[in-house]
Amino acid sequence: MPRPHRPALVLLAAALLIPLGLVLARGSGAISGQFGMPRGLSVQFPSCGQCHDSFPNSRGTVKLEIQSPRSIQVGSKAPVTLKLSGGPQSKRGGFNLLSDRGSFIAGTNTKLANNGLEITHSSSLSRSWTFGFQATQTGLQQWTAVGNAVNGNGRNSGDSWGFYGLDSSSPGEPYRVYANDRTVLAFGSSCAGDKGYQALLGMPKAARLGASFTTELYDVPQGKVTLCLMGISRTRFGAALLPLDLGFLGMKSCSLYVSMDFHQAVVTSGQAGPGSGQAKVTWALPMIPALRGNKLYFQHMTLDSKANGLGISMSHALEARIQ
């Protein structure tokens, strides 16, 4: 009996091992541009559709939920939880999460890529993962994600995948985190606006005497009036104690956190649609040395007809020590 030609055996072995390698790579992580996977997994097609069904949510709608502090201090380490739900009945899945700056910190069943800008699962035996994030520079940080809910049959069939965002069939909607200057602390919580979006408030630079600084607002409706409040107290506004629950005004789950001593009104810019608006407000402090070390407090209130009965949403608040 003739013996198989050695080069043919090598080619046959390679053909068998390459698909196995791709399967193992996906089970132990999905990294953009590696192991035959497409680039930009979390921001564009074909994403998971290169190996699974071409269209997202084909085996049931998939939802990705990200939980983390959203207004943090630069240099601090924030805990992050990512949860995947929907799709086939199983407890297995995977994800890819990409940030435009900063660095993720690997946790249980996760691993890093792209110098820490990208994180993925290291085991597909779960649909919930905990890890961390560290902002290395101030300003807005934007994360995009894709998740794949698998049925555990060891094949590419019968699974369902989707992107992070209000519509998981569309790529590119970011989860936003803001890294504040080290002298700025966030406190309180935002109440939900249209479609459940919650305002994000941040300050990239310290409040300094004789200089200007800005507050930045994100995840609010576009083309709406927003009022930035600056106060000198977070415990009292006139006769009212702070924080003040605004439920009596029809603003469910909203609170006033700062005294309304000063304010500026601007109109939000950005693309049309819920949660796509943003605003920047510039402030300036006189060169009065006696002010150094005192604290200022900031909060936004934004017109949003779908937020609650009064049609106004409230952001969380910031505390800034004057430098």
Each residue of 207-237: pLDDT tens digit? 999 999 999 999 999 999 999 999 999 999 9
* End position of a domain, from candidates 156, 176, 196: 176
> Count of domains in the chain?
2
253 in any annotated domain: yes
Residue 188 counted as domain residue: yes
pLDDT digits (tens, 9 = 90+) for 11-49: 333 333 334 333 433 678 889 988 778 889 999 999 999
Which sign, positive or negative, has the C-alpha torsion 184, 182, 221, 192?
Answer: negative
Q: At 251, phi and psi to the nearest 5? A: -105, 80
- Do 186 and 306 fall into the same domain? yes
Asked if residues 202 and 216 have their Cβ atoms less than 8 Å apart, the reply is yes
Whether 278 contacts 221, CB under 8 Å = no
Q: What is the pLDDT of residue 35?
A: 72
70: in domain? yes
State yes or no: pLDDT of 156 exceeds 80.
yes
Instruction: Give the residue from 144, 176, 208 where a domain finishes.
Output: 176
Is there a single domain that holds both residue 239 and residue 280? yes
Asked whether residue 93 is assigned to any structural domain, the reply reads yes
Whether 115 maps to a domain, the answer reads: yes
Strand (E) or helix (H) holding 231: strand 225-231
**Quick one: average pLDDT of 164-174?**
96
Q: Are residues 159 and 255 in the same domain?
A: no
Domain that holds residue 276: 181-322
The residue out of 117, 144, 176 marking a domain boundary is 176
Q: For the domain that residue 70 is a member of, what is the CATH number?
A: 2.60.40.4060
Q: How far apart are CA 118 and CA 98, in angstroms?
A: 4
Same structural domain, 62 and 168: yes
Q: Would you say 229 and 299 are in contact if contact means Cβ atoms under 8 Å apart?
A: yes
Both 133 and 215 in a single domain? Answer: no
Tell me what pLDDT residue 33 has: 84
Element (DSSP H or E) covering residue 19: helix 6-27
DSSP letter for each residue of 23-90 = HHHHHT---TTSTTPPS-TTTSSSGGGGTS-SSTTBTB-EEEEEE--SEEETT-EEEEEEEEEESSSS
Is 89 in contact with 206 (CB distance < 8 Å)?
Answer: no
Tell whether 186 and 311 lie within a shared domain.
yes
195 and 168, same structural domain? no
Mean pLDDT, to the nearest integer, of 117-136? Answer: 97
